[in-house]
Amino acid sequence: MPSRFTLAAMNAAHRALIAVTFGRVGWRFGSTPALELTTTGRRTGEPRSTMLTAPLVLGDALVVVASRGGDDKHPAWLLNLRAHPEVTVTLEGRPPVTMHAREMTPAERAQHWPTITATHHQYAEYQRRTDRVIPLVLLEPVADRT
């Protein structure tokens, strides 16, 4: 499983790619949008950002996968948004948008997991590596919530 250092290095490399190309490269991986998710640290209260992909887009909502490469531990960003579900999402260098994050219910996950793994095979492999159920997280624009 990727170490904390490896994950941090991958995030730094992703940010560097976006920076050196002035945002022309790094915001999409094929047809999959990349995003910067900023959560509030559950212990520190400080902003914490990570680069992720959204393998599923549902209208204005985005779905991200809390895989951590198939590690047995959840990613820190998931733990943070459980404590503070209001997050900020930046897409393609646009201004950040406030969103509400929530884990999908088991029924929602069962509905969407096959769609995600059909086109993003690595997530099925990550699930095989761990006994934990890898959560899917729905990011919904705050203005869209009723």
Q: Note whether residue 146 is domain-resident.
A: no
Q: Note whether residue 56 is domain-resident.
A: yes
Q: Note whether residue 52 is domain-resident.
A: yes
Question: Which range marks the domain in which residue 100 is found?
Answer: 4-141
The answer to whether the CB of 71 falls within 8 A of the CB of 2 is yes
Tens digit of each residue's pLDDT (9 = 90 or more) over 12-71:
665 656 556 656 655 566 778 889 999 999 999 999 999 999 999 999 999 999 999 999
Q: Note whether residue 34 is domain-resident.
A: yes
Tens digit of each residue's pLDDT (9 = 90 or more) over 58-112:
999 999 999 999 999 999 999 999 999 999 999 987 899 999 999 999 999 999 9
The CA–CA distances, whole Å, from 45 to 48, 70, 115 equal 9, 27, 35
pLDDT at 143: 75
Q: Note whether residue 20 is domain-resident.
A: yes
- CATH of residue 126: 2.30.110.10
Phi, psi of 41 (to 5 degrees): -55, 130
What is the number of domains present in the chain? 1
Rounded to the nearest 10°, the torsion over CA 89, 91, 93, 98 is -30
